[in-house]
Amino acid sequence: MAEKDGKLQRIVLTGNPVSDGAVVARAYIYEPWEPDVLPTCFEPEKKQEKLDAFRRAAKQAKAELTRLAENLGPDFGDQAKIFLAHRELLDDEELMSETELAITEAFWEPDAAVEKVFTSFTEMLSQVDDPLIAARAADLQDVKKRLQRIYQGREEQNLSKLENDVILVARDLMPSDTAGLDRRHVKGIITEAGGTNSHSAILARSFQIPAISGVVNAVRIIPQNTLLALDAVKGQAILRPRQEEIDACVRSQNILLSRRRAQAQYLGRPGATRDGISIDLGINIGSCKFEASENYYDFIGLFRTEFLYMEGLCLPTEEEQLTAYTKVLEQANGKAVTLRTLDIGGDKNLPYMDLPREDNPFLGNRALRLCLSRPDIFQTQLRAALRASHRGKLQLMFPMVGGMEDIYRAKACVRAAMEQLDAKGIPYNPHIRIGIMIEIPSIALMADLAAAEVDFASVGSNDLTQYVSAADRMNPAVGPYYQNYSPAMLRLLETVFSAFTAQDKPISVCGEMAGDPKAAVLLTGLGARKLSMNPASLAGVKAALARVSLKEAQDLARQCLGMRTQKEILEHLSAFTAEAEV
């Protein structure tokens, strides 16, 4: 909807609410630069001019890298080292003089010369079978892009250091973009892509940044720096809002904040229903730098280790992983830590791995499947996890398990890693608990067989919903088909909970549903006694559970199981929640 309002247009855009809240701020359009370099030559008489331009770009690249390293501060020493290593490449005599020769003797345009020379150096390095040298190849690619961007006169967009409060507007945000986000200044997020349970949505929720996704053409429509009123509860963003719309946004945020303050009173209490049935509440984390007081949670139900792989420019070594896992165990201070093995693929990519492109990546060689096909990567992670295992209560969990074969194969890999450690006399916990994620319908339907073979399981409702409903969790166009609360999901969840409970094996839910207060009550009624969520959701879930008795939650679940559509179920849940809040 577009409306004339004086000279400038007031425009209302709509999207899916993915993270609660409302905010008024200026737009920051994020369009990461992609190389667009043509293999062209220039007229020989321009030789000196082009050489000077290349040298200026190299000098500017060095200054940029120095600034980036300096800005990172002491907590990010490892990332700073990467920038400094990149700067060193710009001092590499062979590399730089070959590039200059390609400009002055072959008359290649400087960005094309960089493309040619850096690519041939990268190819040479990639052939060496040494992970450290292979990492230099990735560094070269990064420096190449930086030089080309500067030469073409484009500014770097860095989401980790912003000057003012902004609402970020992007086509899509990769988990690597959101992981380094400047949380002081990003006050809201609007994306064109991404479903309600995409990884960027999950991160926005965990940082409590109001966000909407699926906003068609947002990047094209919203000019840089325009004032926006984002209401992520209603799922709308207004460009150049009227004063009353700004006021409404502020009011809406104040209501949310006062609700959060009321819920915060529950934070220090244990998770339990009104009649004292204990519900273990865990947290989901993505790195060893998580913010949650150990007094507020019972266990770490999901440690998404892939973020460790996404931080750097090459695979983390066994020692680096050991350090990270040990830090998490230390911070958890004796509480169980569920380490999920590498879950890459789908919307989570590792650029340095150069994985083959797949037409349907969510149905492809991802997560455990990828690990089973890359024993080198899997064994390194398993050895690191096992070595950390005797320093705390570490348990292993495999993502994307589709059948019993996957469980047998994954367990055989753990045994192989144990044998490697035995051979070197390295200690580990030989009784480490092994669990699986239930996120593919096939294993959910065989939950009784799976329960007999593992020590525990956790339902990944984000992916389970995507596969049960055959709707891509990233694709806003099929958003209405992606139904966490469909009757099919509820039936499947009940089957899984009862199969595990019957065999006395712990079963939790660690998908986003677990952190939604109304879903937490429903899941409890369906049989879950363990829920794991973003730390930011703990207070709301504790408050919701404290308001209901187990019997009320079970009645609610039974009523929902008798319904025919998600719409009916959601209406019933909302009415119930509103009544319980009175």
Catalytic positions are: 199, 510
**Residue 115 contact among Mg ion, ligand PEP, none, beta carbon within 5 to 8 Å by kind:** none
Q: 349 and 408 in contact (C-beta within 8 Å)?
A: no
Residue with smaller CB distance to Mg ion, 79 or 349: 349
Distances from the Cα of 104 to the Cα of 90, 98, 110, angstroms: 18, 10, 9
d(CA 148, CA 99): 12
**According to the binding rule CB under 5 A, does residue 512 interact with Mg ion?**
no
Quick one: what does residue 510 bind among Mg ion, ligand PEP, none, with the CB cut-off 5 to 8 Å set by partner type?
ligand PEP
322 or 510, CB closer to ligand PEP?
510
Of 301, 435, 460, 517, the one binding Mg ion (CB under 5 A) is 460
Q: How far apart are CA 369 and CA 388, in angstroms?
A: 24
Q: Which stretch binds ligand PEP (CB under 6 A): 130-138, 181-189, 382-390, 457-465?
A: 457-465
Cα radius of gyration rounded to whole Å, the chain: 26
Three-class DSSP category at 14? strand
Is residue 160 within 8 A of residue 182, CB to CB? The reply is: yes
The stretch near ligand PEP (CB under 6 A) out of 22-30, 36-44, 383-391, 461-469 is 461-469
Q: Which does 580 bind (CB under 5 to 8 A by kind): Mg ion, ligand PEP, none?
A: none
Helix H, strand E, coil C: the string for 210-250 is CEEECCCCHHHHCCCCCEEEEECCCCEEEECCCHHHHHHHH
Considering only residues 148 to 187 of the shown chain, the ones binding Mg ion according to CB under 5 A are: none
Q: Where are the strands (E) in 370-497, listed by range?
A: 394-398, 433-438, 456-459
State the pairing for strand pair 8-14/186-191: unpaired
Edge-to-edge strands of the sheet including 211-213?
Answer: 2-5, 8-14, 236-239, 227-231, 22-30, 166-170, 186-191, 211-213, 16-19
Q: Which does 338 bind (CB under 5 to 8 A by kind): ligand PEP, Mg ion, none?
A: none
Q: Is 439 in the site for ligand PEP (CB under 6 A)?
A: yes
Number of C-beta neighbours around residue 4 at 10 A: 8
Q: How far is the CB of 194 from ligand PEP (least distance, A)?
A: 13
CB environment 439-468: b (16+ within 10 A), e (fewer): bbbebbebbeebbeebbbbbbbbbbbbbbb
Nearest approach in angstroms of CB 578 to Mg ion is 31
Q: Give the residue with the Cβ less far from Mg ion, 296 or 467.
A: 467
Interface residue with ligand PEP, options 510, 523, 543, 557 (CB under 6 A): 510
Piece in contact with ligand PEP (CB under 6 A), picked from 188-196, 217-225, 239-247, 458-466: 458-466
* Helices and strands, counts by H and E, the chain: 22, 17
By Cβ distance, which residue is nearest to Mg ion? 463
**Polymer length in residues for the chain:** 582
Does residue 112 bind ligand PEP (CB under 6 A)?
Answer: no
> Binding Mg ion by CB under 5 A: which of 115, 280, 463, 516?
463
Neighbours of 352 (CB within 10 A): 19
Is 173 in contact with 207 (CB distance < 8 Å)?
no
Which of Mg ion, ligand PEP, none is residue 461 near (CB under 5 to 8 Å by kind)?
ligand PEP
Residue among 306 and 311 whose Cβ is closer to Mg ion: 306
User: In this complex, which beta carbon is closest to ligand PEP, that of residue 252 or of residue 305?
Assistant: 305
To 10 degrees, what angle do helices 93-104 and 47-72 make? 150
Binding track, positions 384-423, relative to Mg ion; x by CB under 5 A: ----------------------------------------
Among 15, 17, 271, 511, interactor with ligand PEP by CB under 6 A: 511
The interface region with ligand PEP, picked from 208-216, 409-417, 447-455, 456-464 by CB under 6 A, is 456-464
Q: Cβ closer to Mg ion: 23 or 342?
A: 342
Which residues contact ligand PEP by CB under 6 A?
302, 304, 343, 439, 460-463, 510-511
Which residues contact Mg ion by CB under 5 A?
439, 460, 463
